[in-house]
Amino acid sequence: MLVRDAMSTVVLTIGPAHTLRQAARLMAARRVGAAVVLDPDTSGLGILTERDVLVSLGAGQDPDLESAAAHTTTDVVFAAPTWTLEEAADTMAHGDFRHLIVLDAQGPVGVVSVRDIIRCWTPGRRRTEAALAG
């Protein structure tokens, strides 16, 4: 199975000036664990995860004052839609992260998470998919 078969195509994009509270609200509303941070000034892509928000809160920082830019990972590893799930899982395990932004030639097309991969590899999920296909 390929990354494109497992990824979420709901790509939440935010700007670096969003506050952590704004980012958390948007992630919660869309039921996603990460947001792609697009910085128009640098043409760069980064990722802000729910863990980044929790670390900030745990450190006693104010989510209404902290910007996404201050907590965004900019040294991002990207996946291609044609990667296998094994390649994505191996990359996540070795990089110690739970989300990969999926890029094609036009830009971000999805996000794949550990949860997405587990859902694809769970036997009950395969039975459900087979029943829907048949």
- Report the pLDDT value the prediction gives residue 41, as an integer from 0 to 100: 81
On the 0-12 / 13-18 / 19+ scale of CB atoms within 10 A, 28 is exposed
What's the pLDDT at 40?
A: 81
CA 6, 7, 9, 12 dihedral sign is positive
Structure confidence at residue 129 (pLDDT): 55
Query: Which residues, including other chains, have CB under 8 Å from residue 56's CB and lie 6 or more apart?
Result: 20, 63, 66, 71
Helical H runs in the chain?
3-6, 20-30, 50-58, 85-95, 114-121, 123-133
The gap from C-alpha 9 to its chain's centroid, in whole angstroms, comes to: 10
Cα separation, 66 vs 13, whole angstroms: 17
pLDDT in tens, 17-52: 999 999 999 999 999 999 999 988 876 889 999 999
Residue 17 structure tokens: 């000036």
Average pLDDT, the chain: 91
State residue 43's pLDDT score: 67
Short-list 30, 70, 76, CA closest to 53 = 70
Full-model pTM = 0.83
- List, for residues 47-83, the tens digit of each pLDDT value: 999 999 999 999 999 999 999 999 999 889 999 999 9
Q: Which domains does the chain have, with CATH numbers?
A: 3-121 (3.10.580.10)
